[in-house]
Structures are given as C-alpha cells and as structure tokens.
Amino acid sequence: MSDKQQLKILVADDDDAIRLALVSMIQLEGFSIVESSNGIAALEMYECEKPDIVLLDTIMPEMNGYEVCAAIRKKNPDIYAMPIIMITMMDDSASIQRAQDAGASDYLLKPIQWPLLMYRLHVLFQQKELLNERKKVEEKLHQTHRLNAITQLTGGFAHDFNNILASQLGYTELALNHCNDLNEEKLKIYLGEVQKASLRAKILIEQLMTFAMDGGDMTVVSEVTHVFSDSVKALLSKIPQGIKFDVVNNVKNEWIGLDFLQFHQILMNLLENSVDAMDRQGSIAVKLEKRYVEKQICTSCLSEIAGQHLVLSVTDNGSGIDEKILQTIFEPFYTTKPVGKGTGHGMSVVHGIVHASGGHIHIDSTPGKGSTIEICLLPVTAEKKMAI
C-alpha cells in the first residue's frame, strides 16, 4: 500500500455526477476514498471510517454540510489534524463566514477547478505526514525521558540498598563464624535465615541494576547457537506438561554481545511470562533466526529497528497483552500477576540486557489470542570479535 493510499478521504455530495467526478479524480491521484450522498450518512461514515480529510457539499438532504462540519469539528477540534474542505456554488461573504464558523479548514467554489483541488489535497497530505512524524518523535521523547527517569531512580536505589546489604551480609557472616566457635545452634539457624533473605534481596538488587545498565560496549561475545541450545535445555524442566513446546533454530556460526547467563535470563523471563499467560495449558514456540528487520518500532524505547539482526522470538497462545500497557511492562515492579506470583522485574531485566547490548524488543500481541515477543540482537562481526 502506498503512502497516499493510507490517506483516506471522505467525499459527501448529493449530486451523483459531481460526487462521481470527485471520486474518480481523487482516486487517480492515488488516494483512498469513501463516499456519501447525504449529511446524516456522511456523519455516520465519518464515525465508522475515521477519514483523514473530509470534502463536504454545503447543501445536502437530511443534514446540510455546515451542520455535518460543525458536528465533526466538535469531535475533532484540531483543523490541522482533521481538515474539512467545503465545496459550494455560493461565494458570498455570509456563506464563507458560516463555513468558517462551522469549523471548515478550506472553501472551494463550483465548478471545481481540479488542479486547485488536487494541489490542496497534496498540501494536506504532506501536512498530515509531518503531523504523524511529529507525533512519533514526541512519543519517543516522552518514552525516553520516562525510562531515563525510572533508570536513574532505579540505579540510585539499587546502589544505596546494595551498600546496606553488603554490610548486613558481612556482619551476618561474622556472627555465623562466631556461632560456630561457641556452638550456638539456634542462633546459627536464625542467622542462616537472615543470610538467605539477604541473598534473595541481593538477587533482586542485581535485577534492578540490570535494568539500569548503561552502555552496550559488547565486552563479551558468545556463539549464539550454543547459548541458545544450552539455555533451552536448562529451561525444559520449567515447561509444564500441559504445554506444547516447539523449538526452531535456523542460525549457525553467528555471534552476539551477550554471555550465556545474560541470554539465559532473557529466555527464562520470556518463557515464564508465556507459561503464566496460558495458565499452564497451550503452546509455546521458540525460534532463533537471522533476518533483515525493517519498518518495526521497538516496543520498549520506540526507536526504529532496521538492518540484519539475530531474532529470538517466543510465541504463545495465552491471554495476550493490552496495547495500553505494552510500554509499562518494562518498568521495574510493574506486574499484572496476583500478589505473591511475581516481582514485576522480568521484562525490566530483559529491557536492560537487550538495550545494553545494542538490541531492541518488538511485541505483537492480541488480548485473548496470545503474544509474540521478538528480541532483535545485533550480530557481532568478525572484526569486532577479533578486537574483543
């Protein structure tokens, strides 16, 4: 589909000959068309089709063009985001003022000067593209600032709490050694529990530090086939018997800027989420492939994903993810699971590891039908591998 075809124009005119001429000329320019012969149908079509531009005849049965224009403008007050062009035979100042008051963006006289109409449609098309690009940039900046703020907060919290844990673990170790000397068994048991709790907290802090990772210098490299197969083997026991599990590896002799533990953490978290989303019944497919990725946006940071990537994908037929929370799932402590069922660090850990290595994440999900999460990793070239 061309860019022009993605722009939908609603044409509303009760004169069949004029409407047919409008539709034919606009379609010749490559734009997509929906049409109506009266005002009420035009308003219903606007609600249903969500056009990008509206062309309205002023005089139509059931509901005139001014009323349709005012109704649309009430729903969408931005004249740049929703252009409405009035087409009429009346060129008196009162009619022009009435169109402006109704919210029209432009005003063309009949008989229609086709070159002028086509020129204005092309200008509106370019304007629409610029608005879309601006919106994408604003969304990306918002997401970047949001993640940067969360990263700084997380990193600072993790660093300070890590210092407290280091002191706590150190003194616990000293107390345990003292208990061994004095043969204090009960105290030794109590301190052992303190030590276990502290070690669990240490793991939590390491996960937060992973999310707050800054860089991506790829100081380690691994042959991806080996880390993939070893990680899958290690995780097989975590797949419940009620879930069908398929694995496909289409990659050989490729290297990535991750070690086994980092890759294992990514795959482990993705599989755990898939299992939880299916309530232990369904199917999961894990695939590793090398392919050229284009026209995809990273779900986590909203950057464009382009070029050759080693793509690790995990597909399930579980509950899916609502589009409204897709970016939120990467934040530390965020979870949709019941209390006690998850810490909310799984996807934040994935975010930290993947982006630190220069990669991106793409999620395609439909609530009630399942999800596909793609981890797009940059292959390490032979020159980089030799340098490391």
Domain positions in the chain: 8-112, 140-211, 222-387
CA distances from 35 to 16, 31, 41 (A): 11, 13, 9
Q: Say what the pLDDT of residue 109 is.
A: 83
**pLDDT at residue 151 in the model:** 60
Going through the chain in order, the beta strands assigned E by DSSP cover: 8-12, 32-36, 53-57, 84-88, 106-109, 222-223, 243-249, 255-256, 282-297, 304-316, 360-366, 370-377
Q: What is the CATH number of domain 8-112?
A: 3.40.50.2300
Q: Which residues of the chain have pLDDT under 70?
A: 1-6, 135-164, 190, 197, 199-219, 332-345, 382-388
**3-state DSSP call for residue 209?**
helix
Distance CA 35, CA 192 (A): 76
> pLDDT per residue over 90-133, tens digit each?
878 888 888 888 888 888 888 878 787 887 787 777 777 777 77
CA 239 → CA 269, 282, 348, 350, distances in Å? 12, 11, 22, 19
Residues 189, 194, 196, 202, Cα dihedral to 10°: -160
Q: What is the pLDDT of residues 149-191, one digit of tens each?
A: 556 555 555 666 666 677 777 777 777 787 777 777 777 776 7
The per-residue pLDDT for 304 is: 87
Report how far residue 22's alpha carbon sits from residue 7's, in angstroms, rounded to the nearest whole number.
16
Specify the CATH architecture of the domain 222-387: 2-Layer Sandwich (3.30)
pLDDT for 326:
78
Contact call for residues 315 and 372 (beta carbons, < 8 A): yes
pTM: 0.51
Do residues 131 and 83 touch, judged by C-beta distance below 8 A?
no
pLDDT of residue 213: 56
* Confidence (pLDDT) at 71: 92
Q: Which residues lie closer than 8 Å to 94 by C-beta, 6 or more apart? A: none
Q: What is the pLDDT of residue 139?
A: 66
Predicted pLDDT of residue 325 = 77
**Tokens 């600032």 label which residue?**
145
DSSP 267-301: HHHHHHHHHHHTTT-EEEEEEEEEEEEEEEE-TTT
Is the distance from CB of 333 to CB of 345 less than 8 angstroms?
yes
